[in-house]
Amino acid sequence: MKIQARDIDHLSLAVGSPDALAAKLLQLGFTLTPEGVEPRCLCFQPAEDDVPNYIELVEGEPASELAINVTELKGETRSHSWETDDGFEVEAETVVGEADGPLPWRPVQQAMPDAFMEPEWIVHPNGALGMMAVHAVSDDPRETAKALGEAWGAITEDLFDGCVMVQTGAVELMIWSPSAYQAEYKDVEAMAPEHKPAVVGVAIAIERARPLQALLRANNVPFALTEGDRVIVPAEQIDGLMIEFLPQN
């Protein structure tokens, strides 16, 4: 399948209990959409007004999938709504295309992108500003990046040995070899997944590192502080998804 990708729209995480994972994310200082409606979402201020930036939690066998934003699409329409704290109903409607690979992904078209930009949901106690990148591991990063670049009409770039970037918009996809990934994130003893290629983590922009560190310590959440004041929460704390916080100040 070939598309003209605009950006990574969101990351979809299927887990056995979305509410249990949501509780863990709350401990990390994230705000989520209200419980009782699937999907539970972590929404961020997007780079473009009509391309959302979020992570969704859905119930299912553990898996992850990238949603790639396109302007026009024929497919299944998925609708849901949440209620804000002041009783206002927010409706979302997403057209979803067929899944593809080699890293699991599918195209999406957002009919109501503002649903994922509600002010009370994009402000986070931990200072999170946006999802900057998605980390994935592949036995052959170059081949995986080449296949995705051709399918999405994206830019690919070898950043260094064992890491290739695929970029369609503001959110980068970083594809690592198992050894390069484990070396880069040795401070949290990162392990490559058995089944590859697969998403292993996300990079989140935050305002400042120190308030986040204090919040994590208060909630007894293990983390590593690395070069550049990066704060990394290991994958075992969040159902297999490493979260890397990148301070902007």
Quick check: 193 pLDDT over 90? Answer: yes
Q: How much is the pLDDT for 217?
A: 97
The chain-wide mean pLDDT, for the chain, equals 95
Class of residue 86 by CB neighbours under 10 A (exposed 0-12, middle 13-18, buried 19+): exposed
Q: Averaged over 179-198, what is the pLDDT? A: 96
Quick check: 139 pLDDT over 90? Answer: yes
b/e sequence 56-84, b meaning 16+ C-beta within 10 Å: bbeeeeeebbbbbbbeebeeeeeeeebee
Quick check: 222 pLDDT over 90? Answer: yes
Q: How confident is the model at residue 136 (pLDDT cuts 50, 70, 90)?
A: very high
Q: How far apart are CA 226 and CA 244, in angstroms?
A: 10
DSSP-based three-state secondary structure for 31: coil
pTM here is: 0.96
The CATH topology of domain 128-247 is 2,3-Dihydroxybiphenyl 1,2-Dioxygenase; domain 1 (3.10.180)
Is 227 in contact with 185 (CB distance < 8 Å)? no
Question: Minimum mean pLDDT among 12-21, 78-87, 146-155: which range?
Answer: 78-87
Asked if CATH classification 3.10.180 holds for the domain at 7-122, the reply, yes or no, is yes
Q: Averaged over 28-53, what is the pLDDT? A: 93
Q: How much is the pLDDT for 85?
A: 85
In the chain, CATH 3.10.180.10 sits at 128-247
